[in-house]
Structure 1
Amino acid sequence: MKRFLILLVSVFMMLQGNRLLAESNGGYAGAFMRLGLGARHLALGNSSVAAPVDAFSFYYNPALSAFHEKRMFTLSHRFMSLDRRFDFIGFASKIPPGAGFSLGWIHSGVGDIQGYNMIGEQTGTIDHNLNAIYFNFARVFAGKFAVGLTIKHMREDLNFGADSYNASGWGWDFGAAYRFNQKLTVAASLRDVGSKLTANTEKLFEFGGTTVFTFPKIWSVGATYLTPLPWLRVNYAFVGTEHENGQHLGLEATYRNILALRFGYNKDQLTFGAGMGFKLWKFFTTLDYAFVPSVVDEGASHVFSWQFYLN
């Protein structure tokens, strides 16, 4: 009974936490993987299915990695309310003469949740962790058309004292992009194909078994356009799932490679951010910031990303 109550309360908190984490489809499995990734792309309203490539591009469209011109190492941290965590570390590189790849690790979770039994006694703390590891490869053909694939492994862990619950699974992302020229690119992606978490509760319950949590598939189409004003770029994406869909728009104004101001429309939210580029030791780096407003009064998020261009 104690194990059942702790697990029931914990799963409820997990679902509530995922609802707060996710900007859409929050009541379904894998919400932490639908937040968006990278301060630049979040500031642009998650409109980056065709955006110029960086170390976060594989998340929005696996095909974009084919356009890598440099090696990049990146870190990202999202300051969130309610003691939640969301971090990313990644590496991306070109593979001459016409390919590229990306590696990445997302970690999300919340810890030190106080647990109680049915008579109000403290039973210790509960920790909830979610992890996803990505591998992405993309190839360009004729210098214009690119296709890409991302394989990802996900794992969820819920620890409460001597007991624990865990689930794991795999998923696939596919993408395509066509670069007409340096100003215009159109693209499409299909994410979370077959993505699911499979849990076995036989060690927790006498009549435990196997449960499968399936992620909603996400499809995106969009474009990026460098306007006649050479300092202004516009992104557009239409993103949908079997449960809902919405439009995403991003505007990015840049001054050389030094400063950038960004504004976005993320379905029904307005986002904004900024970035700056500078040289650190022998590397050129970019430091980006994004403000993401509250979804359901849980508090706004502040996202920082730092990219290092290695050559």
Structure 2
Amino acid sequence: MKHFFRFSRLLGAMGLGLGLTSAALAQSTDNTPKYANEFLNIGVGGRALGMGNTQVSLAQDATAGYWNPAGLLNQKAKYDAVLMHSELFSGIVKNDYAAFAMPLDEKSAIGASIIRLGVDDIADTRALVNEYGQIDYSRISYFSVADYALLLSYARKLGPEGLTLGGSGKIVYRNVGSFATAWGFGFDAGAQYQRGNWRLGLMARDITTTITAWSINSDKFRESTNDTLSIPKSSSEITLPRFVLGAAYNVKLPGQFTALVATDLEMTTDGQRNTAVSTSFVSIDPKLGLEIGYNNVAFLRAGVSNFQKIEGTTSTKESWRAQPSLGVGFTASGLRLDVALSRLAVEQAKTNSIIVSLGYGFH
């Protein structure tokens, strides 16, 4: 247990120290935007989204390239692949994900992940009325707004038994039809430690900060306006680091049942947010997840995350709300099917989101 408690203290010290440094950077940069590249924080994988995104200490398949690259070395199969599709806002927004991971040797592994979040077939009606003042539907064109990310990950065993470290380099590409494009580059780093029934994890996203540079096609905007002041200009967005501390404990239940309890503490450093712990120094969003398994074949999952304070009105009091999620999973012969239901119909969110992911591990 000596290594376990030592690593626990190490994770806490790293998370706090890195958080202090980046929080100071956020305070010194008044114009730093919140929610830059926020599409990378939605989450991937039916298992993760069914458990409230508590995966930093648990990810041990190809999805580890996203959640915590250190987990790539703990996957059960030699080769692992995952596909995911989900639709948000009644199907308007499509969220797609694919990943693959494999070992290089007994002490190292690699992985690759691709993420796309987009809205397609948006009608451009600026030219709907022709030069004679008549409506001409043939003049309507369509475009897409989409965000892409490519993550290349590497993991290696170091130090005491049960400790793995990993990192992911990521390339971000965003486009708004032919109106604007953006490129960004960043780096994530993570660690996992497993001791008995305990699992610990630390993930540092955008640890070096991620700068996304936008390039605006001014000519496309001039086609519909003579006001040059309303034309956006090329600029850059900065994504400051966020840190996630995770812990999980696996319990053997009577019969062939097991229970896995997990929690993540997500710390953002880009200013005050509406989270459970909210300060100008650092904001902390706790996440909780539970997975009940039967014979390592069928799983029932639940989670809660996104705790927010809802302001009251003249007739209601201030209250707290959270985003619950549910999920199920099945595995057989290396094939995994995971389905999650997130954004359940509660007072502050009236829409549901169904996430389906398919994984396959093989030798």
TM-score (norm 2): 0.71
Match of 1:213 among 221, 226, 237: 237
What corresponds to 2:122 in structure 1?
Answer: 113
Matched, 1:172 2:187: yes
What corresponds to 2:80 in structure 1?
Answer: 72
What corresponds to 2:266 in structure 1?
Answer: 239
Q: Which of the pair is proportionally richer in strand? A: 1
Match of 2:250 among 226, 233, 255: 226
Deviation at 1:114, TM superposition (A): 1.9
What corresponds to 1:42 in structure 2?
Answer: 49
* Distance change in 2, residues 1:52/1:62 (3 Å): closer
Q: Provide the rounded CA distance (Å) in 2 between the counterparts of 1:224 and 1:196.
A: 33
**Which segment drifts farther, 208-217 or 246-255?**
208-217
C-alpha deviations, 1:67-100, integer Å up to 9, x for none? Answer: 2342101111013225211101110112321122
Of structures 1 and 2, the larger Rg is shown by 2
SS at match of 2:60: coil
Q: Provide the rounded CA distance (Å) in 2 between the counterparts of 1:190 and 1:149.
A: 9
Letter in structure 2 aligned against 1:247: P
Q: Provide the rounded CA distance (Å) in 2 between the counterparts of 1:202 and 1:124.
A: 17
Letter in structure 2 aligned against 1:99: S
Matched, 1:293 2:293: no
* Distance change in 2, residues 1:255/1:198 (3 Å): same
What corresponds to 1:308 in structure 2?
Answer: 360
C-alpha deviations, 1:182-212, integer Å up to 9, x for none? Answer: x111111110232232012265478875310
Contact 1:114 1:124 in 2 (8 A): yes
C-alpha deviations, 1:253-304, integer Å up to 9, x for none? Answer: 111132100011113211110011123xxxx201000001159646211001
C-alpha deviations, 1:101-124, integer Å up to 9, x for none? Answer: 211100110011223339977753
Q: Percent identity?
A: 23
Match of 1:276 among 330, 341, 353: 330
Q: Provide the rounded CA distance (Å) in 1 between the counterparts of 2:35 and 2:59.
A: 30
* Distance change in 2, residues 1:298/1:169 (3 Å): farther
Structure-to-structure mapping, 1:57-206, within 5 angstroms: 57-70=64-77, 71-80=79-88, 81-117=90-126, 123-141=140-158, 142-159=160-177, 163-181=178-196, 183-193=197-207, 194-201=209-216, 203-204=218-219
TM-score (norm 1): 0.82
Stretches of structure 2 that go unaligned for 5 or more consecutive residues are: 1-32, 130-134, 223-227, 274-282, 307-321
Q: Provide the rounded CA distance (Å) in 2 between the counterparts of 1:154 and 1:136.
A: 15
Deviation at 1:217, TM superposition (A): 2.2
**Which segment drifts farther, 116-125 or 32-41?**
116-125
Matched, 1:263 2:270: no
Stretches of structure 1 that go unaligned for 5 or more consecutive residues are: 1-25
Letter in structure 2 aligned against 1:146: T
Q: Provide the rounded CA distance (Å) in 1 between the counterparts of 2:361 and 2:117.
A: 26
Query: What is the RMSD computed on CA atoms of the aligned residues?
Result: 2.4
Q: Provide the rounded CA distance (Å) in 2 between the counterparts of 1:146 and 1:221.
A: 15
Q: Provide the rounded CA distance (Å) in 2 between the counterparts of 1:309 and 1:76.
A: 15
Q: Provide the rounded CA distance (Å) in 2 between the counterparts of 1:195 and 1:257.
A: 39
Q: Provide the rounded CA distance (Å) in 1 between the counterparts of 2:115 and 2:353.
A: 17
Contact 1:236 1:249 in 2 (8 A): yes
SS at match of 1:87: strand
Deviation at 1:228, TM superposition (A): 4.1
Q: Provide the rounded CA distance (Å) in 1 between the counterparts of 2:165 and 2:100.
A: 19
C-alpha deviations, 1:204-229, integer Å up to 9, x for none? Answer: 47887531012242210011111243
* Distance change in 2, residues 1:201/1:79 (3 Å): closer
Report how many residues are paired.
Answer: 278
Q: Provide the rounded CA distance (Å) in 1 between the counterparts of 2:232 and 2:293.
A: 56
